[in-house]
Amino acid sequence: MSLDYRQAAFSLSAPDRQQLPADTGAEVAFAGRSNAGKSSALNAITDQKQLARVSKTPGRTQQINVFPLDATHRLIDLPGYGYAKAPPAVREHWQQALPAYLECRQSLRGLILISDIRHALNPLDEQMLAWCEAAGLAVHILLSKADKLRRGPAGNTAARIAPAAARLCPGATVQLFSATTRQGVDEARARLDEWLLADDRA
């Protein structure tokens, strides 16, 4: 059984977890530094061009966006982090709100962390991994923009990042990904199925 990610549709934007839909069913969150390619990854996985807005201004996503797949499964787009021009109050809010979401959201099954392969893992990615480790949350890392490197260097980067990520968050897995060439889309969908459908298969 596999979910149809093309059915994803925008539902709402929430300033914090209290305004999210009822904490039932199963969801997977997407996180990443601003300009890492998070919106492009969501669009590629859902086979849609503008489900998540791709902006030339990094950091545009400053709320939690909810994309239901059906009545009980959904994708969550977390605010891009690390954008220097975000107001200090906004940065401080998410510094507190994101760990609380990761730790307290019962329907959250895992986190997809998008990290630009040319700059992975940056300190903010490492902070996100530490939060996930503290929350006991499964993590799968998409090394985005893999098309920007030749196959050999891209593979070497993935091999170097995997053990580093696992040290920060035991069990974290890594794959190459390119929204441009669609490299790794099927692998990412398979990981989403594994998490989102785990309760259905139990």
Confidence class for position 82, pLDDT limits 50, 70, 90: low
pLDDT tens-digit readout, 137-185: 999 999 999 999 999 999 999 999 999 999 999 999 999 999 999 999 9
Q: Please report the pLDDT score of residue 75 as a whole number.
A: 97
Q: How many CB atoms lie within 10 A of CB 131?
A: 20
Q: CA-CA distance, 33 to 26, in Å (whole number)?
A: 24
Q: Identify the structural domains of the chain with CATH numbers, from first to last.
A: 5-201 (3.40.50.300)
DSSP-derived 3-state class of residue 70: coil
Q: Please report the pLDDT score of residue 81 as a whole number.
A: 75
Q: Please report the pLDDT score of residue 55 as a whole number.
A: 44
Query: Is 197 a residue whose pLDDT tops 70?
Result: yes
Q: CA-CA distance, 170 to 182, in Å (whole number)?
A: 28
Q: Please report the pLDDT score of residue 35 as a whole number.
A: 85
CB 64 within 8 A of CB 17: yes
Query: Is 201 a residue whose pLDDT tops 90?
Result: no
Element (H, E) at 132: helix 123-135
pLDDT tens-digit readout, 9-62: 999 988 888 899 999 999 999 999 888 899 999 999 999 988 877 544 444 457
Give the highest mean pLDDT range of 77-81, 96-100, 120-124, 127-131: 127-131
How large is the average pLDDT for residues 196-200?
88
Q: CA-CA distance, 189 to 46, in Å (whole number)?
A: 9
The values of phi and psi at residue 197, to 5°, are -100, 5
The first and second tokens of residue 15, run together, are 């300033």
